[in-house]
Structure 1
């Protein structure tokens, strides 16, 4: 390996910049040139590729988003698009590629891997839904953003004796809703992994009212239904009028937490180590605080697993 490339793709996540920094400086430390691919796979097809020096990634470890930017690229899903991307990599003499992103980004790396090109995936997504790793880059920061919002909304809920519904991100995975709900003391958590039981929710709300509880927080992952849809159902079943807060894209932004900065640095450096050892077609992750790597093609065939013990605990503690 004389030259490696790095790109970020998909939804941005706090800590992506820390991962880019780690890739660049780890490679340069070992005498390898690094090229940044701007605007994800679209930039790869278009040849928006530029060399990065150690100074190129100075003062970015604390910044949210991604300096390499990101873009959707339907063209890359085609054989023609993938072939054009490989031509650009060959044109710039790039021997291996680090891809930082979520499920869609991994599928792009998988496509290049199947064509014989060495790629290493680094899990960067706030959804925490990548198999093979306990935590993804950006999850901890997004979680703390949601918890901060819950704490503030609870103040108002308590003052006005109201029930609030907070809609959080999570199309197919309920990790943000679950972890934020437990740590924020939510009375009810609605996630994609467990079919919603409106009768059970009704019983929980009414039981709380009977024991004198005057306010409550319901967390719903966007993949189940919108906060407004849930509010209508709650009103219809219980007569309780709720207020809805949709946190939206604010969950993706902000300066990454120390945990995300350390995780991103470790995973980015590990990805470079694999490429330098001529180990492409891999993805990196963390299990029990130990760095791991696994076949990126196999990883995409595995289901995402939610910790249902935490889900059960949240129910037991919110009586």
Structure 2
């Protein structure tokens, strides 16, 4: 193997640049030429390739987003589109591809592997919703961003003696809400994986009021429902002044934490090692602090589950 390529696909996540850097530099360390594919699978079809030197990835480990950019590509979902992509890979004499992204990106990588082209996936998504790995690149940074925002909101909530509902990202996975909620000591955490009763939330708020707590924080994962609607329901049921903050895409940006930089670096190096070992159709994962390669099918056959022990812990601590 002499030439490999790397692309980022799907939603951006802090640490993607660190992963790109690791792929490029470990590739050069092993004597490979490394190409960057710009704008994800769309760039793969269009032939938007560029040779990346050691200097190309200098001074990017601390930057959020992705220098390779990302884009949606409906054409790649078709057999014709994937064949165009493979033709471009052969044109540039690429022999292996590293795909950094989430579930949809990995399914594209699996299709390439099934067509005979070696592809390895690196999990990069703030939602932490990829089965088979303990953590995904970007999750830790997103949680810390949420914590920083809620710390600021708490100051206002305390000053004005208000209840605040904070809506965070997590359409199908409640990890961001769960981890941030435990770290913030939230009164209630609402996640898609656990049913909730509004009456239980209000009861918990009332207990807090009875022990003279002047403010409360409720964290809602977007997959549960609208934070605005939930806040309005609480206000109608209690009569208490309630405010809602929807954090939105601010959670995706920002400089990656040390954890995400190290995780991305370890995963990028592992991806290159897997390609050099002749592996394909695999994703890089971290299990019990060990970076390993697992089959895409193994990951796809599982269903992501958050650490519900944390959910139970939060209920105990918010008494």
Bin of the TM-score, shorter chain as denominator length:
over 0.9
CA contact under 8 A between 1:281 and 1:296: conserved in structure 2?
yes
Matches within 5 A, 1:188-203: 188-203=188-203
Any unmatched runs of 5+ in structure 2?
A: none
Residue 56 in structure 1 maps to residue 56 in structure 2: yes
Q: Residue 190 of structure 1: CA displacement?
A: 0.4
CA contact under 8 A between 1:231 and 1:241: conserved in structure 2?
no
Q: What is the match of residue 125 of structure 1?
A: 125
1-side partners of 2:196 and 2:276: how far apart?
A: 47
Deviations 1:63-112 (A, max 9, x none): 10000000011111111111111111111111010000111111111111
Deviations 1:162-217 (A, max 9, x none): 00011100000000000000001111100010122112112111222222222100
Q: TM-score, normalised by structure 1?
A: 0.98
1-side partners of 2:238 and 2:30: how far apart?
A: 64
Q: What is the match of residue 45 of structure 1?
A: 45
Q: TM-score, normalised by structure 2?
A: 0.98
Matches within 5 A, 1:148-187: 148-187=148-187
CA contact under 8 A between 1:140 and 1:259: conserved in structure 2?
yes
Q: What is the match of residue 79 of structure 1?
A: 79
Q: Residue 241 of structure 1: CA displacement?
A: 2.9
Equivalent residues, number: 319
Q: What is the match of residue 315 of structure 2?
A: 315
Q: Residue 276 of structure 1: CA displacement?
A: 0.4
Q: Residue 116 of structure 1: CA displacement?
A: 1.8
Deviations 1:14-58 (A, max 9, x none): 100000000000011111110100000011011101111111100
2-side partners of 1:195 and 1:82: how far apart?
A: 40
Alignment partner of 1:122: what SS?
Answer: strand
Alignment partner of 1:219: what SS?
Answer: strand
1-side partners of 2:108 and 2:248: how far apart?
A: 26
Q: What is the match of residue 8 of structure 1?
A: 8
2-side partners of 1:195 and 1:312: how far apart?
A: 13
Residue 258 in structure 1 maps to residue 258 in structure 2: yes
CA contact under 8 A between 1:34 and 1:52: conserved in structure 2?
yes
Alignment partner of 1:172: what SS?
Answer: coil
Q: What is the match of residue 304 of structure 2?
A: 304
2-side partners of 1:195 and 1:91: how far apart?
A: 52
Q: Residue 299 of structure 1: CA displacement?
A: 1.0
2-side partners of 1:241 and 1:79: how far apart?
A: 55
Any unmatched runs of 5+ in structure 1?
A: none
Q: RMSD across aligned C-alpha pairs, in angstroms? A: 0.9
